[in-house]
Amino acid sequence: MTAQMFDLSGKIAVVTGATGVLCRAICHGLAEAGATPVVIARDKVRIDALVDELSQKGSHALGISADVLDKTALQAASSVIMDTFGRIDILINGAGGNRADATSMPGERTFFDLPQEAFQWVFNLNFMGSILASQVFGEVMSKQHAGVILNISSMASYQPLTRVVAYSAAKAAINNFTHWFAVYMAKEHSTAIRVNAIAPGFFLGEQNRYLLIDQKTGQLTERGQRIIDHTPMNRFGDAEDLIGTVIWLVSDASRFVTGIVVPVDGGFMAYKGV
């Protein structure tokens, strides 16, 4: 009985930003739990590579190239998914990240120097990308009267981190949206539609590596060392560390859970340094 609660067999799971480090692992986890991942990202080469990996594991994964900031492209993707599978059971809003020119750095750029375009790009990708995808794929769920949406937040949403001002603001907005959307879907559409989020701690990815690892020496930067010092589990997260929490939140194992943001952070949020 317990194992069946976590079983995702037959579920169609749309994952945006699917080819990133974290969501790539999540796609593999979903497939291993029985779901069929729909891989959505911009780079077709990387999409095809991930779909091939999943196919080798026996998954009938589908890959679609689309920009989460292009609602028309997302609507086209939704049409393809519905024509292929006839339903959407899970949406994981994984598209996100940061940009160097939206990051304040001592001796390079202050907050006052951050270009509006860079700030707006980071905020839009992390917040509006989730809003638009939730509008498009969430509408399908509203007509089905069932579904699960999982947003990707961050430790930066709880306690704004130095340097990444646009990213922190966007992730804080994600938390607020997760609470709001959970209530909206349950009250106005169906109590069988749930909305939650996970807040990863510090995981090494393509867009934050330059802040945490010195490119010349391969050693921790000062910032990276401070993070490790304030993480009781004394390491960065591995992408696979997210899979268990994700499976719990998108499966029937959490069928009475909606409107929450779950930290997956090695204890970072709990530790105040004393």
Q: Which amino acid is at 178?
A: T
Burial (CB count <10 Å: 0-12, 13-18, 19+), residue 221: middle
Q: Which residues contact 142 (CB under 8 A, 6 or more apart)?
A: 185, 189, 190, 193
Buried b (16+ CB within 10 A) or exposed e, 9-24: eebbbbbbbbbbbbbb
Q: Let me know the angle formed at the C-alpha of 93 by 91 and 97, rounded to the nearest 5 degrees.
A: 165
- The answer to whether 167 is a known catalytic residue is yes
Q: Let me know the angle formed at the C-alpha of 158 by 154 and 164, rounded to the nearest 5 degrees.
A: 60
| Other Cβ atoms within 10 Å of 172 Cβ, number | 18
Instruction: For residue 203, give the DSSP letter.
Output: B
Six token digits for residue 153? 């937040």
Find the catalytic residue in 167, 184, 210, 271. 167
Q: Which of 3, 263, 32 is nearest to 13 (CA)?
A: 32
Q: Which of 256, 211, 204 is nearest to 235 (CA)?
A: 204
Q: Phi/psi of residue 144, each to 5°?
A: -80, -20
Q: Annotated catalytic sites, by residue?
A: 167
